[in-house]
């Protein structure tokens, strides 16, 4: 098979195994998703969910987060890494949402990336998960898979993002983000990829490099 055929089969197999992939972050609104993704930088989804299960029943809107204030917000999220700076960013983001967007999360990338603590990756997650856009948020797993498989090599997250977007067939683009993250999180791990359990081993270029 040529590269295009291998990539198509790669995603076809991931789709067959998990037709409707979901983020592992817990949320019930677009704002909760934005807050959870903001808090997840350099932290696990497990740790974020543990904190937001306590936070969101008390405050799950920009107005309610602002009413908490920094000290009380920190108490809810202190189990997450870098929680103090994340609390400040979340509060600043809430101020902008209330002041400029009537408390709603904007749908435009430029507006999302203007929010404190929201970079390209976070904006891509919100655009994809909340608004159904075919964006790809390159985290450590997607970056690793791009280079390890040989499908989307790059030296920076942006290079890998563009490489993935250029090669993924359109029919798979909406859910590609989740398939790649889940595959990287549980099968194609950083230190010891579990090639024996890999559904897409035949399409991956990794074995060719290590044979």
List the CATH number of the domain containing 51.
Answer: 1.10.340.30
Which residue, of 112, 130, 148, is where some domain finishes?
A: 130
Q: Select from 80, 107, 130 the last residue of a domain.
A: 130
Which of these is catalytic: 121, 194, 207, 209?
121
139 noted as active-site residue: yes
Name the token pair of 15: 């789709």
Q: What is the pLDDT of residues 136-185, one digit of tens each?
A: 999 999 999 999 999 999 999 999 999 999 999 999 999 999 999 999 99
145, 122: one domain: no
Share of the chain above pLDDT 70, in %: 98
Same domain? For 52 and 92 the reply is yes
pLDDT value, residue 205: 84
The DSSP code sequence of 138-186 is --HHHHHHHHHHSSS--SSHHHHHHHHHHHS-GGGHHHHHHHHHHHHHH
Distance, CA of 110 to CA of 34 (rounded, Å): 15
90-143 pLDDT per residue, tens: 999 999 999 999 999 999 999 999 999 999 999 999 999 999 999 999 999 999
Phi and psi angles of residue 196, each rounded to the nearest 5 degrees, phi first: -65, -30
Range of the domain at 54: 30-130
pLDDT digits (tens, 9 = 90+) for 24-56: 999 999 999 999 999 998 899 999 999 999 999
Domains in the chain: how many in total? 2
Residue 210 pLDDT more than 50? no
| Selected catalytic residue, list 3, 139, 194, 209 | 139
For residues 187 and 143, state if they share a domain: yes
- 194 classed as catalytic: no
User: Which pLDDT does position 207 carry in this prediction?
Assistant: 64
147 Cβ partners below 8 Å, 6+ apart?
153, 154, 160
Residue 144 and residue 126 in one domain:
no
Q: Is 31 exposed, middle or buried (0-12, 13-18, 19+ CB in 10 A)?
A: buried
Mean pLDDT of the chain: 95
């Amino acid at each position: 098979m040529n590269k295009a055929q291998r990539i198509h089969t790669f995603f076809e197999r991931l789709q067959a195994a998990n037709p409707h992939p979901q983020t592992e972050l817990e949320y019930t609104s677009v704002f909760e998703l934005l807050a959870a993704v903001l808090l997840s930088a350099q932290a696990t989804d497990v740790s974020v969910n543990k904190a937001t299960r306590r936070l969101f029943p008390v405050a799950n809107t920009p107005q309610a987060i602002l009413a908490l204030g920094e000290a009380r917000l920190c108490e809810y999220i202190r189990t997450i890494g870098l929680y103090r700076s994340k609390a400040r960013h979340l509060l600043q983001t809430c101020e902008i949402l209330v002041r400029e967007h009537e408390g709603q999360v904007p749908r435009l990338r430029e507006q999302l990336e203007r929010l404190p603590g929201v970079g390209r990756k976070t904006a891509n997650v919100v655009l994809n998960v909340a608004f159904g856009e075919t964006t790809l948020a390159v985290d450590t797993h997607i970056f690793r898979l791009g280079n390890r498989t040989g499908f989307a090599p790059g030296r920076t997250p942006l290079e890998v993002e563009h490489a993935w977007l250029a090669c993924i067939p359109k029919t798979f683009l909406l859910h590609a983000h989740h398939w790649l993250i889940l595959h990287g999180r549980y099968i194609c791990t950083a230190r010891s990829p579990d090639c024996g359990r890999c559904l897409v081993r035949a399409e991956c270029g990794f074995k060719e490099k290590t044979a």
